Amino acid sequence: MEWPDITSILPEVILAVAALLVLLVEPFLKKDKTAVIALALIGLLASAVVAVALGGNSRAAFSGTIVLNSYALFFKVLFALAAFISILMSPRYLEASKRHLGEYYALILLAVIGMDVMAAARDFIAFYVGLELMAMCSYILAGFFRYRIRSNEAALKYFVTGVFASAFTLFGISLVFGFTGTTNYEIISSNLGSTGNATGVAFATALVVAGLGFKVSMAPFHMWTPDVYQGAPTTVAAFFSVGPKAAGFSAILIIFTTVFESSSEFWSVLFMVLSVLTMFVGSVMAIVQSNMKRMLAYSSITHVGYLLAGLAALGRGLDTKAGESIILYLAAYTVMNLGAFGILTYLKTQQPEGFDYSLKSFAGLGRRSPWAAILLTLFLFSLTGIPGTAGFIGKFYLFTSVVRGDLVWLAVLGVLFSAISAYYYLRLMIYMFFREPETELTVKEPIEGTLAAAVALSAAGVLFLGLFPQWIWDHALKAFSNLFG
């Protein structure tokens, strides 16, 4: 018997070891959790470094269930970064909420393994197992504050709807298996077109879209998003809003360009319709939210709508530029959304009892803690898509590729919805800088410790991607060109 190709999954092995070590060390710690936090951070850093070092490889491993190529590695680094920033945010917040358990860090690491497997999988079984690992950790993390009613509600809603969505994905996969007799992406893609059953392939496509659409909170499968974000711990919501979404899109990109290549005309139209619906629902609902956590949830739905427009363009002639711009947008979205949630985490840590994320509680923030206000403004600018920030670069490339895909009307709609989004982002800024608070909230401390590092990292990412987009674009280009390797 020959040894399995461990190198190809080295980043995941490192994460698994780190997660298990966290679980092992945790019981021996009393109040101070520094050791497990350091372990988790080192594990994530090591996995990202190894992923970077493995760059340039391009091979299949484990009987073709998984690949090692720059596409998978790009996402492995992105997921590690997202988890890294989320973990940096967490300690103070969890302490302030009086539920600081080491298991939290282990679960985040395990979720990252699931995401890595999703991005690297080239086989439906490996993909599904990765998806379930990620989902399982998400359900638990959503209900992490189990004494809080909202957290319970979030976990239960997420679990019930999530299992339902998984069943849809599985049904779609089993149909594809029935048509082709295999679960390997490559073999399916060469067989599926020749089965000559367009209805069946379209049905399977729609089922997989529904299942994955739930994970990335695409309308009309978005209902869980605001409730879960509101009820889940803020740091977990930050992680949810970027990690599983990027993982979902990494899997969508690979599955729809290989497995469902033959039905690309069908899913292009499908994503077109869903994109318009998602952008519409996200924007309209975000306007009426007074809870900023819910507003960010709906804004994340709007961003998914933009990404779906890119997918629609990708389906038309499988234009690679669209795929690259989706990858770029995911990277930009990760840093800016994490940053915005980081500031919310800081504010909640300041006022564990008083702060309720309402628009009113942001009044006077510019005077109270100017740094938090300025940084939040930066992230909101980026989410709106103001030039100089990562959000602008992401939208610029994405909408350009949509225009190139001959979907000018969709790009116009996307820009229109971005303009609407400016309303609900700017409104928050107006409250921060130009409104006087009704009750004066006290500031206990400036942003400091690991939380400061998390926010600084996100801000640096937003500015770096915004001012020097060439670097990330090159990497996105390399990643997508190596999709099939």
Q: What does the binding site for other proteins look like in residue numbers (CB under 8 A)? A: 4, 9, 16, 19-20, 23, 61-63, 65-66, 97-99, 101, 103, 106-107, 110-111, 113-114, 117, 123, 125-126, 128-130, 132-133, 136-137, 139-140, 143-151, 175, 177-181, 191, 195-197, 199-200, 203, 230-234, 291, 293, 348, 353, 355-357
Q: How far apart are the first and last CA of the chain?
A: 26
CB-nearer residue toward other proteins: 203 or 396: 203
Three-state DSSP class for residue 66: strand
Shortest distance (Å) from residue 4 CB to other proteins: 6
CB-nearer residue toward other proteins: 13 or 477: 13
Instruction: Give the whole-angstrom CA distance, residue 420 versus residue 84.
Output: 32
CB-nearer residue toward other proteins: 61 or 312: 61
Shortest distance (Å) from residue 294 CB to other proteins: 10
Shortest distance (Å) from residue 149 CB to other proteins: 5
CB-nearer residue toward other proteins: 356 or 474: 356
Pair 350, 466: CB distance under 8 Å: no
Shortest distance (Å) from residue 378 CB to other proteins: 24
CB-nearer residue toward other proteins: 186 or 374: 186
Pair 170, 183: CB distance under 8 Å: no
Q: What are the φ/ψ torsions at residue 291 (nearest 5 degrees)?
A: -90, 125
CB-nearer residue toward other proteins: 126 or 297: 126
Q: For the chain, how many residues are written?
A: 485
Question: Got the DSSP string for 228-241?
Answer: HHHHS-HHHHHHHH
Instruction: Give the whole-angstrom CA distance, residue 369 versus residue 376.
Output: 11
Shortest distance (Å) from residue 195 CB to other proteins: 6
Instruction: Give the whole-angstrom CA distance, residue 241 versus residue 340.
Output: 11
Tokens of 388: 């100089």
Token pair 């190894």: residue: 50
Pair 332, 393: CB distance under 8 Å: yes
Instruction: Give the whole-angstrom CA distance, residue 107 versus residue 251.
Output: 21
Give the contacts of 471 (CB within 8 A, at least 6 positions apart): 464
Shortest distance (Å) from residue 68 CB to other proteins: 12
Shortest distance (Å) from residue 415 CB to other proteins: 34
CB-nearer residue toward other proteins: 146 or 360: 146
> Whose CA is closest to 44, among 74, 5, 79, 92?
79
Shortest distance (Å) from residue 66 CB to other proteins: 6
Token pair 């209902």: residue: 223
Instruction: Give the whole-angstrom CA distance, residue 460 versus residue 418.
Output: 23
CB-nearer residue toward other proteins: 146 or 367: 146
